[in-house]
Amino acid sequence: MLAVTLDKIIKVYDKGHLAVDEVSFSVKQGELFGLIGPDGAGKTSIFRILTTLLLPDGGKASVMGFDVEDDFKKIRETVGYMPGKFSLYPDLSVEENLTFFATLFNTTLAENYDLIKDIYVQIEPFKDRRAGKLSGGMKQKLALCCALIHRPTVLFLDEPTTGVDTVSRKEFWEMLKRLKTQGITILVSTPYMDEATLCERIALIQDGKILSIDEPQNIIAQYPDPLYAIKSERMSELLKHLRKHPEIKSCFAFGEYHHISFKKDDEAVHKSLLQSLETKGHKQLDFKTMEPSIEDCFIRLMN
């Protein structure tokens, strides 16, 4: 059985805005699946439909075999959901929040302690502190504990790392990997393309439509053109010159380097580009082949 299925799911908001446009994908049991896309792509709408908080306007979806419309109560009993916005009780303490959510699901902190132990020990020193007074990183850990306290079959994490610095983001993904070993299916969304490779499979999503679904390595392998990185000592001008060059197919800034592909790719074309740039006064040109990243793939699929 598949843990999550979506079949042509549609969500329309007021004024006819199509937030989710016939989205179909499935998540296998025990899989760590990532929904990767910018704000407004439809990620949160999909999470709300799967957690039965929002009715779809078309299509079918199920979680652990239960239909999101007909069996919504069954789904609510079995899944864990961490919304993008902090949604615990700010005036209850850390421990009170956990006890509250455990009680809602007819369980206790003690019963499932082993599942949350790794995460909970990091916030346990502050267990008497009100949740509203916690730092961002600690709120995130408490929210994850509360979503796990009833040992869910499927865990939905909506942008758990948004606005979190790179160190805390790395720690969070380590936690997810450990949870995966416990057999919990995880559906996680993120606007950070570099987190895509930490998932087993991903769906790239933009404007309510799926651009691609596959293992990250396969999406990268499907990049159609050889990709190159180039830099000089004047990056801003280099970008302008590259955009005007007739042989360039695609060109965009990418951190330290600009990434480019050619209309016709051979050594003569490379040579003529480098020569042309040198005559335009670019010095210390560094030009090399490179493996595309998920962000390269996303940019290509958007155009």
Partner 1 sequence: MEKEIVISAHKLTKKFGDFIATNEITFKVYAGEIFGFLGANGAGKTTAMKMLCGLSIPSAGEATIAGFDVYRETEKIKQNIGYMSQKFSLYEDLTVVENIRFFGGIYGLSNKELKSKSEALIKTLGLEKEVDKLVGSLPLGWKQKLAFSVAILHEPKIVFLDEPTGGVDPVTRRQFWDLIYDASDRGITIFVTTHYMDEAEYCDRVSMMVDGYMKALDSPENLKKTHGAATMDEVFFDLARGAQRQGD
Interacting residue ranges for partner 1, rule: CB under 8 A? 15, 37-41, 135-138, 162-168, 170, 191-194, 206, 235-236, 252-256, 295, 298-299, 302-303
The nearest distance, CB 84 to partner 1, in angstroms, is 10
Answer for the pair 33, 188: CB distance below 8 angstroms, yes or no. Answer: yes
Nearer CB in complex with partner 1: 187/196 = 196
- Other Cβ atoms closer than 10 A to 291: 10
The nearest distance, CB 270 to partner 1, in angstroms, is 23
Query: Nearest Cα to 209, choosing from 16, 4, 34, 8?
Result: 8
Nearer CB in complex with partner 1: 154/193 = 193
Query: Nearest Cα to 154, choosing from 182, 193, 173?
Result: 182
Q: Go through 186-206 and write b for each residue having 16 or more CB atoms within 10 A of its CB, e for each that does not.
A: bbbbbbbbebbebbebbbbbb
The nearest distance, CB 212 to partner 1, in angstroms, is 14
Return the amino acid letter for 299: I
Answer for the pair 148, 179: CB distance below 8 angstroms, yes or no. Answer: yes
The nearest distance, CB 128 to partner 1, in angstroms, is 18
The nearest distance, CB 206 to partner 1, in angstroms, is 7
Tokens of 252: 């965009």
Nearer CB in complex with partner 1: 30/191 = 191
3-class DSSP assignment, residue 47: helix
Nearer CB in complex with partner 1: 243/271 = 243
The nearest distance, CB 60 to partner 1, in angstroms, is 28
Nearer CB in complex with partner 1: 38/226 = 38
- State the Cα torsion 236-239-240-243 to the nearest 10°: -170
Nearer CB in complex with partner 1: 54/299 = 299
The nearest distance, CB 235 to partner 1, in angstroms, is 8
- CA–CA gap between residue 190 and residue 176 (Å, rounded): 13
Nearer CB in complex with partner 1: 22/237 = 237
In the chain, count of helices (H) and strands (E)? Answer: 10, 14
The nearest distance, CB 193 to partner 1, in angstroms, is 6
- CA–CA gap between residue 82 and residue 149 (Å, rounded): 12
- In the chain, where does DSSP find H-type helix? 43-50, 72-78, 94-104, 113-123, 136-148, 166-180, 216-221, 235-244, 267-279, 294-302
- CA–CA gap between residue 175 and residue 69 (Å, rounded): 32
Nearer CB in complex with partner 1: 38/58 = 38
